[in-house]
C-alpha cells in the first residue's frame, strides 16, 4: 500500500473502537460469570477470534495469530472440568513461548501436554477443578500470563495467591486487570510482589454493564501524527484516569515531543494539541518497561524528527507477533536511522537520508504497519501487507483518510 507524502489536516475527529486489552479480559469474565454486558467492544480481529472460540464447543480451537486469546484461553480451558481442548494457532503462534504459564497451571494441578515442541503451542488441556491456592510465577514474563491466571482466580473454590519472583514487567497491565476484577466485586490485593484474589462465590444475579474505553495503543499512532505534523487531532472515547498502561503515551509525548493532551471529560474526548515553540530534547532516554507496545511508535516519531533516542525495558518485544526489536533495527534504517539493539533495548547511532523508495516490511505485525505510517508526513512510503492492521485496528487506514491530505 503506497501512502503518498501527505499533510495533516487540523482539527479532525476520530472515534476509536474499544480497547482490545480490556475487551478480551471482559469476554473471559463474561463467560465465567454470565452476568456481564459489554458496551463498545473492540472490533479487532483478536477480539473476534476470542469471541468465536468462547461461543463454540469445539475440541480443537485455532486462534491463528491472536496471542492474547492463546494466553487467556489456556487458563480458561484449564478450569473447564472434564473437558479436553486442543489449543493451537498459526505458525508464528507456535513459535511464541507459553511455558511459564503452562508450568504455573501444571503446578496448580492442571493436566497440560505440549503436542509439538516443549514450551510452545499447540497444547492439549484437560480441564479440572483447581483447589490449590498459591503459585509462584516469574515476574519478568509477559503480563498476559499473569492476567490469564487472575481472570480465572475468582472462579476458583479458594481463590488464588500469585507470588511474583523478581522484577515485575508491565505492572500497569496487571493493575488494569485487578481494577476490572474490583469493578465486578471480585476482591483482590497487590502488595509487594504478591497478588491475592478472593473466591467470588456470591456474585450478584443482576446484569453488570461495562462500557469499554477506547484503545490507548491505537491512539498512539495519532500522537505520532500530531508530533510530526504539528496539528491538532480530536479523539473519542477516552477517560482521564485510564487504567490502560499505554495511556502513559500522553505524558511521554508531552515531555519529549510537545504534544499536550486536553481532556473533555463530559464528552470523553481528548485533544492532541502541539505546544507552540516547543524545544525538542537533545536526546530521549526512556525506560518503557510498563508500556513496551508503544515503543515502535515512539522510535518512528523520533526518527522523523531526528531526535536521538535510547529506549530500554523492551525485553517482551522479542516474543511478540515478530521480534520487534530486530524488525525495528532493519526498518528504521530505511527511514534514515542506524540503530543498535540488545536483548531489551534500542538506541539510535546516527541519522542519514531516508531511502529513495521506502518499502516497510510488516512481518505479520500490526504495530509495524501502523507505527511506520506517520512517516508519510516526511516522505512517501509503501507499507507491505497493510491488512495486518485488522488484528487490532481494522479501521486504521480509513481513519487516516480523514486526517491526511496529499501534499
Q: State the catalytic residues.
A: 293
List Cβ neighbours of 115 (8 Å cut-off, separation of 6 or more): 86, 88, 122, 123, 124
Residue 249 neighbours by CB distance under 10 Å: 25
Cell of 79: 478450569
User: Which candidate, 340, 321, 329, places its Cα nearest to that of 389?
Assistant: 321
Task: Estimate to the nearest angstrom the gap between the alpha carbon of 280 and the chain centroid.
Answer: 28
Cβ proximity of 339 and 349 under 8 Å: yes
Grid coordinates of 112: 497440560
For residues 319 and 344, what is the distance between their CA atoms, to the nearest angstrom? 11
Q: How many CA atoms lie within 13 Å of 41's alpha carbon, on the beta-carbon side? A: 18
Give CA–CA dist 239/181, Å, rounded.
Answer: 18
Cα separation, 78 vs 95, whole angstroms: 21
- 334 touches 372 (CB < 8 A): no
- Residue 301 CB neighbours (<10 A): 29
> From the centroid of its chain, how far is CA 154?
24
C-alpha cell at 185: 466485586
The helix (H) or strand (E) run that includes residue 256 is: helix 249-257
CA 347 vs CA 203, 221, 315, 335, 341: distances in Å = 49, 20, 14, 15, 7
- Identify which of 386, 233, 372, 232 has the alpha carbon closest to the alpha carbon of residue 303: 372
Amino acid at each position: 500500500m503506497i501512502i503518498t507524502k501527505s499533510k495533516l489536516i487540523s482539527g479532525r475527529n476520530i472515534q476509536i473502537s474499544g480497547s482490545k486489552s480490556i475487551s478480551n479480559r471482559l469476554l473471559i469474565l463474561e463467560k465465567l460469570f454470565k452476568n456481564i454486558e459489554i458496551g463498545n467492544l473492540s472490533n479487532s480481529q483478536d477480539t473476534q477470534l476470542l469471541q468465536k472460540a468462547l461461543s463454540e464447543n469445539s475440541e480443537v480451537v485455532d486462534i491463528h495469530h491472536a496471542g492474547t486469546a492463546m494466553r487467556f484461553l489456556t487458563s480458561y480451558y484449564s478450569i473447564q472440568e472434564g473437558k479436553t481442548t486442543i489449543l493451537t494457532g498459526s505458525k508464528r503462534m507456535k513459535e511464541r513461548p507459553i511455558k511459564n504459564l503452562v508450568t504455573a497451571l501444571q503446578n496448580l494441578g492442571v493436566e497440560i501436554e505440549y503436542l509439538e515442541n516443549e514450551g510452545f503451542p499447540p497444547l492439549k488441556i484437560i480441564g479440572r477443578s483447581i483447589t490449590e491456592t498459591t503459585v509462584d510465577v516469574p515476574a519478568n514474563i509477559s503480563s498476559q500470563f499473569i492476567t490469564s491466571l487472575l481472570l480465572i482466580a475468582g472462579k476458583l473454590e479458594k481463590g488464588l495467591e500469585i507470588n511474583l519472583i523478581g522484577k515485575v514487567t508491565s505492572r500497569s497491565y496487571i493493575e488494569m486487570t485487578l481494577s476490572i476484577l474490583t469493578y465486578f466485586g471480585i476482591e483482590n490485593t497487590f502488595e509487594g510482589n504478591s497478588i491475592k484474589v478472593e473466591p467470588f462465590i456470591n456474585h450478584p444475579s443482576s446484569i453488570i454493564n461495562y462500557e469499554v474505553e477506547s484503545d490507548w495503543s491505537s491512539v498512539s499512532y495519532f500522537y505520532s501524527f500530531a508530533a510530526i505534523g504539528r496539528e491538532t487531532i480530536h479523539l473519542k472515547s477516552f477517560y482521564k484516569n485510564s487504567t490502560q498502561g499505554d495511556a502513559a503515551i500522553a505524558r511521554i509525548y508531552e515531555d519529549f515531543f510537545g504534544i499536550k493532551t486536553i481532556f473533555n471529560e463530559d464528552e470523553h474526548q481528548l485533544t492532541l494539541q502541539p505546544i507552540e515553540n516547543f524545544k525538542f530534547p537533545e536526546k530521549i532516554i526512556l525506560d518503557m518497561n510498563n508500556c513496551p507496545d508503544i515503543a515502535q511508535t515512539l522510535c518512528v516519531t523520533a526518527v522523523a524528527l531526528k531526535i536521538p533516542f535510547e529506549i530500554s525495558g523492551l525485553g517482551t518485544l522479542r516474543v511478540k507477533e515478530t521480534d520487534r526489536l530486530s524488525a525495528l533495527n532493519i526498518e528504521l534504517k530505511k527511514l534514515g536511522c542506524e540503530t543498535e539493539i540488545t536483548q531489551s533495548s534500542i538506541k539510535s547511532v546516527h541519522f542519514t537520508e531516508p531511502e529513495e523508495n521506502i518499502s516497510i516490511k510488516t512481518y505479520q505485525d500490526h504495530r509495524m504497519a501502523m507505527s511506520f505510517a506517520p512517516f508519510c508526513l516526511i516522505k512517501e512510503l509503501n507499507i507491505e501487507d497493510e491488512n495486518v492492521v485488522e488484528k487490532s485496528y481494522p479501521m486504521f487506514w480509513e481513519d487516516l483518510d480523514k486526517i491526511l491530505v496529499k501534499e
